Amino acid sequence: MKNIFSPAVRTGLVLVCAMLLSWGCMPKQVVVKSADMLSTPNLLAEADAAWEAKRWEVVELYYAEALERADLVRSELPPAYARLARSAFLNGHPQQARIALESWANIDSNALNSVDWEETYLDTMAALDKTERLQNHLRWVLESAIPWDAKQAVALWFGRYFLDKADFERSLDVLDAFYKQAPAVTPVRSAFEHELLQWLDRLDDEQVAGLGRAVTPVNQWHFPYALVAFEQGVRAADDPDEWPTIWRTMRNLAANAELADMVPLTNKLAELEARYGLPSVGLALALPITGPYAKVGVKILRGAGLAQWRLAQDGVDVDLKVINTEIPGWETRLAALPGHYSVIGGPLRVDAFKQLYEAGGPGRNVLRQRAVFTFLASLGDLTEGRDAWRFFTSRVDEVRSLVDLAVNELHITDLAVLYPEEKFGRTMAQIFYSQAAPLGGRIRGMQSYPPGEFKQWSKRIGKLLKVPDDFHENTEAPLEQPDFGAVFIPDGWRQAQTLLPNFFFYEGDSLVFLGPGLWSRALDSAKGVDEHYYRLAVCPGAWWKDSDGGRRLQSALTEEGLGQADFWVALGYDFIRFAGKFGTLPSGWTPSDVNRRIRSAQDMDFSMAPLTWDDSGVGSQNLFLFSPVRNGKELVNAEKITERIARAASRRERRIEAYEERMKEQEAKTLHEQDGPARNPDIPPGM
């Protein structure tokens, strides 16, 4: 038998055992017998007893001696090497452990299929600081066909290894990679999940928090991320202010996580619910339910009611209160709601929102005591993310989407603005100007026009396009093309139908026309649009019925017999689902508390264009972009628009060529007339 330990090492092991006995570290009744005086069967028996008693120094000594015996049976070699390697590692002798592992692998081709071999090998390589070997072995195990129990052991080992190095993302990524290889049978995957749950339970709060930073909205429903997110909830459940929000997250995970065994999660959640109670989320909507805007308010309420019903089916109790902003004193009634109505949606109109902060009193208290998410494009003089929040498309959202399309997709960097001389037009023109430069655009022209003086509109457009004053005297000559490729027109759809034909009159048919969200909403019900003028028109919008979210909403409405979906229904539906994830805000909450909860709540499937908020609570919306078509609108196709621009440019080139050809013919004719008819040389002069 090969002597895997030198005489010096063996002597050292004997001395260590003697010292432990003299110091009283071993039980006094334990006697370390001389290995040389024992027969091989007795030596193995003593080694096995030491293994059971976890006397690792004795284990290492006896198995090292046994492996030198010539009469050791071959079948006894693998377990002897396994225990020798493990005890050597535990005794702080990683080199000896490595030698034993290699010897084991040399005489047993199945050694690497063993959990014992894998775990001891990894521990040994880590103790020897063999980082590259560890990385190579990880790749080998992932690519190999070793038994699943060995793979699972390797997965958990590397999960702990990377956790100890604070590489939290790698720790979970490794577990994820192995789980995907697990046999697709419930008992196997369940066992892996249970092992991870037990491991997470043994970690301290700081380690769980570190792993939690690797959980994202995309991966949170899958192993191992779902279990980490759930464990985070378990750790924080005893905070009464946070419990409603934590409960909502844990409830979603226990119902929707893609795991083989949900029982441990549902059991733990039931235990926490029994201890801390079942939260009820209080939400209020401030909407016009009567009066001229009642139709819009009722649509929002219809979507909100659907969301409330859907949440109830998922076990989330939303206590919804509606305040009619058309009834005098509504702000006082809003302020008088019980404290658990801590999140408010609305108002819908600017004048109603001003009542909450301009005059002070009960309305002002609403903003101090409750998180108000307005359905407005702007908060006016208030600071978004501090005084109140926005659950609505902003004007910046609209402009940014248009500039981004023009500059980054259509590669048009030279832009212009034609705006009406009223507040909305001036505001939108200023926003367009401020948003263009950061995205790479240059404003080459800026022209206003009086909203009600239609006769002036053509002249102002001519001025923007730098049309010569004598244009009407020489209408046949092609006009110079403007020094911009797209023009922003922040006015309504009805006004656009009058404005755009004037550009064509002045040969601006290759310009891209950028319109506001007003166009998009009007196109939802438009019929018989003259596509000739709008082939290059684009407008943003927050609602698209054929988006994935739009279809899901319509399916839910149809199932409940609640009619057709549109933007306002989607707004109410999305807001309740969003706000329902907040829970009840704690007393004395701060804007930072709201902004922190927003970061979690915004991770949802919106039915309208998705909203996101930055860390300071400022919202933005990733809008859809549309082109007008005969009976409504369609999603923008940037390639199609680019092709249309090229065709318009080609048509212009042909017009110029035709004009130049006519000019040559005219010049030749004029010269001919000036020279007179050609004379016959055979006819004498004067005849």
Closest CA to 609 of 621, 618, 600: 621
Q: What does the mean pLDDT of the chain come to?
A: 87
| pLDDT tens, residue by residue, 495-540 | 999 999 999 888 888 899 999 999 999 998 888 888 888 999 999 9
* Measured distance CA(310)–CA(304) in Å, rounded: 10
* Measured distance CA(184)–CA(176) in Å, rounded: 14
The two tokens of residue 295 are 């139709």
What pLDDT shows up at residue 476? 66
Percentage of the residues of the chain whose pLDDT score is greater than 90: 60
What pLDDT shows up at residue 30? 44
| CA distances, 678 to each of 559, 673, 686 (Å) | 90, 11, 15
* Measured distance CA(155)–CA(192) in Å, rounded: 10
Higher pLDDT, 546 or 73: 546
Same fold: 1-129 with 400-541: no
Q: Which of 268-282, 319-333, 384-398, 441-455 has the lowest mean pLDDT?
A: 268-282
> Facing residues of 416 across strands?
445, 487
Q: Identify how many contiguous H helices and E strands the chain contains and give both numbers.
A: 27, 14
* Measured distance CA(47)–CA(1) in Å, rounded: 18
What pLDDT shows up at residue 98? 92
Q: Taking a C-beta distance cutoff of 8 angstroms, is the pair 626, 523 a contact?
A: yes
Q: Say if domain 1-129 classifies as CATH 1.10.3090.
A: no
| pLDDT tens, residue by residue, 349-370 | 999 999 888 766 666 678 888 9
What pLDDT shows up at residue 7? 45
| pLDDT tens, residue by residue, 295-307 | 999 999 999 999 9
The two tokens of residue 293 are 């805007």
CB hemisphere CA count around 51 (13 angstroms): 19
| pLDDT tens, residue by residue, 643-675 | 988 887 777 777 777 766 776 777 777 776 666
Q: Taking a C-beta distance cutoff of 8 angstroms, is the pair 348, 300 a contact?
A: yes
Phi, psi of 107 (to 5 degrees): -100, -5
- Contacts of residue 554, defined as CB under 8 A and 6 or more positions apart, other chains included, come to 545, 564, 565
Residue 622 has pLDDT above 80, yes or no: yes
Higher pLDDT, 278 or 143: 143
Query: 355-388 in b/e burial notation, b at 16+ Cβ within 10 A?
Result: bbbeeeebbbbbbebbbbbbbbbbbeebebbbbb
| pLDDT tens, residue by residue, 413-467 | 999 999 999 999 999 999 999 999 999 999 999 999 999 898 899 999 999 998 8
Q: For the chain, which residues make up each domain, given as ranges?
A: 1-129, 151-278, 282-393+547-598+611-624, 400-541
What pLDDT shows up at residue 469? 75
- Contacts of residue 394, defined as CB under 8 A and 6 or more positions apart, other chains included, come to 377, 378, 619, 620, 621
Q: Name the architecture of domain 400-541.
A: 3-Layer(aba) Sandwich (3.40)
What pLDDT shows up at residue 591? 94
The two tokens of residue 212 are 């939690």
What pLDDT shows up at residue 71? 81
Residue 133 has pLDDT above 70, yes or no: yes
Higher pLDDT, 481 or 161: 161
| pLDDT tens, residue by residue, 169-187 | 999 999 999 999 999 888 9
Helical H segments across 405-492, by residue range: 423-436, 454-464
Helix-, strand-, coil-residue percentages of the chain, each rounded to 5: 55, 10, 35
Query: 125-143 in b/e burial notation, b at 16+ Cβ within 10 A?
Result: bbeeebeeebeebbeebbe
| pLDDT tens, residue by residue, 225-238 | 999 999 999 999 99
For the chain, what is the radius of gyration of the CA atoms? Answer: 39
Look up the pTM and report it.
0.67
CA dihedral 561, 574, 330, 279 (to 10 degrees): 100
Q: With 0-12 CB in 10 A as exposed, 13-18 as middle and 19+ as buried, what is 437?
A: exposed
> Facing residues of 414 across strands?
442
Residue 151 has pLDDT above 60, yes or no: yes
**pLDDT band per the 50, 70, 90 thresholds, residue 682:** low
Q: Taking a C-beta distance cutoff of 8 angstroms, is the pair 100, 84 a contact?
A: yes
Helical H segments across 441-566, by residue range: 454-464, 493-505, 517-523, 548-560
Residue 639 has pLDDT above 80, yes or no: yes
**DSSP letter (8 states) at residue 267:** H
**pLDDT band per the 50, 70, 90 thresholds, residue 1:** very low
Percentage of the residues of the chain whose pLDDT score is greater than 70: 90
Higher pLDDT, 541 or 82: 541
Residue 113 has pLDDT above 80, yes or no: yes
**Given the structure tokens 């926490």, which residue do they identify?**
272
Helical H segments across 526-637, by residue range: 548-560, 567-579, 591-601
**DSSP letter (8 states) at residue 388:** B
| pLDDT tens, residue by residue, 247-280 | 878 888 988 899 999 999 999 999 998 898 877 7
Q: Which of 288-297, 399-408, 650-659 has the lowest mean pLDDT?
A: 650-659
282-393+547-598+611-624, what's its fold?
Rossmann fold (3.40.50)
